[in-house]
Structure 1
Amino acid sequence: MSMAEEIETKFAVEAFEPVREALVRAGAERLSRRFEENVVLDTPDGDLRHRDVLLRLRRDASARVTLKLPAPAPEGQGLKVRQEIETEVADPDALQAVFFHLGYRPFLRYEKVRETWRLGRTLVCLDQLPFGLYLEIEGPADAIPGVAARLGLAMDAALADTYHALYRRHLAACHLPPADSFVFDADTRLALLADLSAS
């Protein structure tokens, strides 16, 4: 089990290749590239959402349960700070059944392909989502602006929003009705999984 303060920021990007090239030039180490399935749980009346608490089951190469709690944000633009408790789970279906009987139901589902790099004291994640490409930098608050600059990103473009909030903003910009879950269509999902298994 890990319990830590999570400090991160996001940037919308047009393409990953220039970022990968910048990461290589900076001496970053590529750690993994994985398909993620996430289920966010809540009570029917949204008790956790109202308290800014996130309860999530994630499956990629393994399965983990994560609880994210509010934390005071440091000074600095575009940073999101949460207290995070996370542990691996042997049987996520059984744990989801436990949560169900405690009153927690799936509130939203989302998928992404996450490519993770280590650069200095930070993790840099290249996230392909059904509605766009994003880069996430996680690490100490004083390290994030320098890493962003090395990757050609300006902190005044940093986003402190969750992917759920960014998705709803995307839908509004496209004049589409609000929705919570964002998953790849079946053909895209199969193509991504085939690409990942081949790499």
Structure 2
Amino acid sequence: MSDTAEIESKFAVDGFAPVRAALAAAGGERLSRWFEENIVLDTADGDLRRRDILLRLRRDAAGKVTLKLPAAVPGNPAIKIRREIETGVGDLAALEAIFAALGYLPRLRYEKVRETWRLGPVLVCLDRLPYGRFVEIEGPAPDIAAAAASLGLSMAAATAKTYHDLYQDHLAASGLPPADSFVFTPQGRREALAESGDA
């Protein structure tokens, strides 16, 4: 189990090739690449969302349950800080059934392909979502800024928004109605998983 302060920033990018090259040049270590399925649970009346609490089940290489508590330092548009409690789960279906019996049901689903690198004191995640590509840097705030600079990313372009919030921005910019879940089409999933290092 981990119980930590999650400190992170996100950056929208057109492609990952320049970031991968910068990571390699800076001595970064590629750790993993996985397809993730995420289920966000809430009560029927949206009590957790209203209180800015996230309860999530994740299936990637294994299974995890995560609880994210409200932002500790609200108002910073570039860096998100919130308490995160996470642990591995052997049987996600059983845990989902337990939460359902307690009134916590699936409210939205989202998917991504996540490639993770270690760069000194920070984790750098290259996240391919159905609506775009993002670099997420997690670690101590001063180290996030230093890592971003070494990767050619500007903190002026960083955001503390969640992927759900960024999806709402994407829908609004595309003239589409709001929607909660964002998952790949079967073809989109195959393409995301098959992307080469040049993507």
Shared fold per TM-score greater than 0.5: yes
- 1:192 CA displacement: 4.0
- Aligned AA (2:169): R
CA distance in 1, matches of 2:122, 2:7: 10
Aligned-pair identity in percent equals 65
Alignment of 1:59-70 (within 5 A): 59-70=59-70
- 1:73 CA displacement: 2.2
Normalising by structure 1, report the TM-score: 0.94
Unaligned runs of 5+ in 1: none
CA RMSD of aligned residues (A): 1.6
2:130–2:188: 8 Å Cα contact kept in structure 1?
Answer: no
Residue in 2 that maps onto 1:173: 173
- 1:76 CA displacement: 6.1
Q: How many residues align?
A: 196
Normalising by structure 2, report the TM-score: 0.94
CA distance in 2, matches of 1:164, 1:74: 17
1:10–1:160: 8 Å Cα contact kept in structure 2?
Answer: yes
Alignment of 1:181-192 (within 5 A): 181-192=181-192
Residues 59-108 of structure 1 deviation map (CA, whole Å, 9 limit, x = unaligned): 00000000000242289650001100000001000000000010011010
Residue in 1 that maps onto 2:153: 153
- 1:188 CA displacement: 1.9
- 1:142 CA displacement: 1.6
1:62–1:88: 8 Å Cα contact kept in structure 2?
Answer: yes
1:74–1:141: 8 Å Cα contact kept in structure 2?
Answer: no
Which consecutive aligned stretches of 4+ in structure 1 deviate over 6 angstroms post-superposition? none
Alignment of 1:1-199 (within 5 A): 1-73=1-73, 78-193=78-193
CA distance in 1, matches of 2:76, 2:173: 27
CA distance in 2, matches of 1:113, 1:9: 18
